[in-house]
A and B are shown apart, each in its own frame.
Chain A
Amino acid sequence: MTSSVITSFFLIAGAFFSLLAAIGVLRFPDLYTRMHAATKAPAFGLLLLQTGAAVYFSSLYTTLISILVIVIIFLTAPVASHLISRVAHYTGTQKWSKTLIDELEAESIIPEASEKTGGEESS
C-alpha cells in the first residue's frame, strides 16, 4: 500500500516534469533558452520515474538498472547540450532580442575554432 502510493507520486511527478520540459521547448523564444528547458527538466523527470520504478519492483536488478540509467543520463545530457549550443553558436543561430551578454563571442573563441577546422580541411 505504502509502496503503491510512493510509486504513484514518483510516476506522476516524473511525467509532469517531462511535460514542463516540452512546454518550455515549445514556448521559449530562443534556441538557448529552449535548450535550458530541454536538458534539465527531462533528466530530473527521468530520475523521478526511475526512482519510482526502483521502489515499485524493489529488487536488486531493478535498482541497479535505475542507477545505471540515471548516471548515464546525468553524465551525457550536459555534454550533448553543450555540443549543440556550441555548434549552434558557431553556425550563427539567431539570438533572442533581449539577450544581454554573449561571453563566447566576446572571448573570440569562434574565429580560432574556424581557423583550426579550416586547417584540418585543407590538409
Chain B
Amino acid sequence: MMDNLPELPVWVEMLTLALLSSAMLLALIRLYRGPSPADRIVALDLIASVTLCFAVAFAVISGVSRYLDIAAIVALVTFIGTVAYATYLKKRYND
C-alpha cells in the first residue's frame, strides 16, 4: 500500500495539522462559552467536521488509505448526532 506514493514536504504536513489544531481549539472555546445550548450544538457540529478533516489529513500524512474509512463513518454518524441534539432541545423546551 505504501508503494510509489509521492513524498510530501514536512512543512506542509506540519502546517496542515497546525491549522486544523487551531480550528479545533477555537471551536472548543465556543463550546465552552456558548451562551445558548444551540450555540453548543453548532460548536459540536464544527468539531465533528474538523475531526473529519483530521482523519483525511492523517490518512494522507501516514500514507494509509484505509484511514479514509474513518471519515466515511464519522460523516454518517455526525448527522444523526446533530438531529438527536436538536430533537432533544425541542422536547426539553416543550416540557
Residues of A within 8 A of B5 (CB): 56-57
Closest approach, in angstroms, between the C-beta of B10 and any C-beta of chain A?
A: 11
Contact of A80 with B6 at beta-carbon distance under 8 Å, contacts A31-B36, A69-B75 already known = no
A16: CB under 8 A from chain B? yes
Interface size class of A (residues with CB under 8 A): 35 or more
Cα A39 to Cα B49 with chains together (Å): 9
Give how many B residues have a beta carbon under 8 Å from the other chain's beta carbons: 54
Taking a contact as CB atoms closer than 8 A, the residue among B9, B23, B39, B53 that contacts A8 in the complex is: B9
Partner of A84, one of B41, B65, B71, B75: B41
Contact across chains for A84 and B23 when beta carbons are under 8 A apart: no
Contact B75 A73 (CB under 8 A): yes
CB nearest neighbor in B for A23: B26
Complex: A14 Cα to B69 Cα, angstroms? 19
**Complex formed: what's the CA distance from A79 to B83 in Å?**
9
A69 to B71, CA, bound (A): 7
CB-CB nearest in chain A for B93: A91
The residues of A that contact B71 with a CB separation of less than 8 Å are 50, 65, 69
Q: Which one, B35, B76, B82, contacts A80 given CB within 8 A? A: B82
Given contacts A22-B26, A25-B30, A62-B65, contact A83 B83 (CB under 8 A): yes
Q: Which residue of the partner chain A has the closest CB to B75?
A: A72
Shortest CB–CB separation between residue B83 and chain A, in angstroms? 6
Q: Are A4 and B30 in contact (CB under 8 A)?
A: no
A97 interfacial by beta-carbon distance below 8 Å = no
